[in-house]
């Protein structure tokens, strides 16, 4: 299992239920890393998608503690259930609590690191500060719409 996330320099990922950044190159990379895969996400993250609908061309597993029936998605009510349903090749795509709960199941994290620190109220765990993770690849720095960013791949030690 692996995770895909776009973060600010201080590992912020969102504010008021919205992503901090919309970078088309990052969205293309996200599609490349998730299309044809199983994605695991939370109910609040699903609500931010166009029409509140699951992502196309992916098997969507929504982790929620609420009793729900979500058209086009499978529902899991615990981390263990989601992990068992998903298998090894699943991609964790957020939000904050889903990342935190499923990070122990991940062996790789694909990070888009944006060189900015906007105000955030949700954060991804700081992999640089964790003894369990190490960066194994860092891309050159790119720029889009005034935002500088790079891709960093982390693996579990």
Q: What beta strand segments (E) does 77-129 contain?
A: 91-92, 108-114, 122-123
* pLDDT tens-digit readout, 30-82: 999 999 999 999 999 999 999 999 999 999 999 998 877 899 999 999 999 99
pLDDT recorded at residue 68: 77
Among residues of the chain, what percentage have pLDDT more than 70? 100
Check pLDDT > 90 for residue 138: yes
Model confidence at 1, in pLDDT bands (50, 70, 90)?
very high
Point out which residues pair with 62 in neighbouring strands: 41, 75
Using an 8 Å Cβ cutoff, are 75 and 40 in contact? no
Among residues of the chain, what percentage have pLDDT more than 90? 95
Rg (CA), the chain: 15
Helices (H), 2-51: 24-34, 43-48
């Amino acid at each position: 299992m692996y995770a895909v996330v776009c973060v600010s320099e201080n590992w912020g990922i969102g504010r008021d239920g919205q992503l901090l950044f919309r970078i088309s190159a990052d969205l293309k990379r996200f599609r490349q890393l998730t299309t044809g895969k199983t994605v695991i996400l939370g109910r609040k993250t699903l609500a931010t998608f166009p029409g509140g609908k699951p992502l196309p061309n992916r098997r969507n597993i929504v982790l929620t503690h609420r009793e729900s029936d979500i058209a086009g998605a499978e529902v899991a009510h615990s981390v263990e259930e989601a992990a068992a349903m998903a298998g090894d090749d699943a991609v964790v795509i957020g939000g904050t609590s889903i990342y935190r709960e499923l990070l122990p199941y991940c062996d790789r994290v694909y990070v888009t690191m944006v060189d900015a620190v906007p105000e955030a109220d949700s954060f991804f765990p700081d992999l640089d500060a964790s003894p369990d993770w190490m960066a194994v690849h860092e891309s050159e720095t790119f720029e889009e719409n005034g935002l500088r960013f790079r891709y960093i791949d982390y693996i579990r030690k």
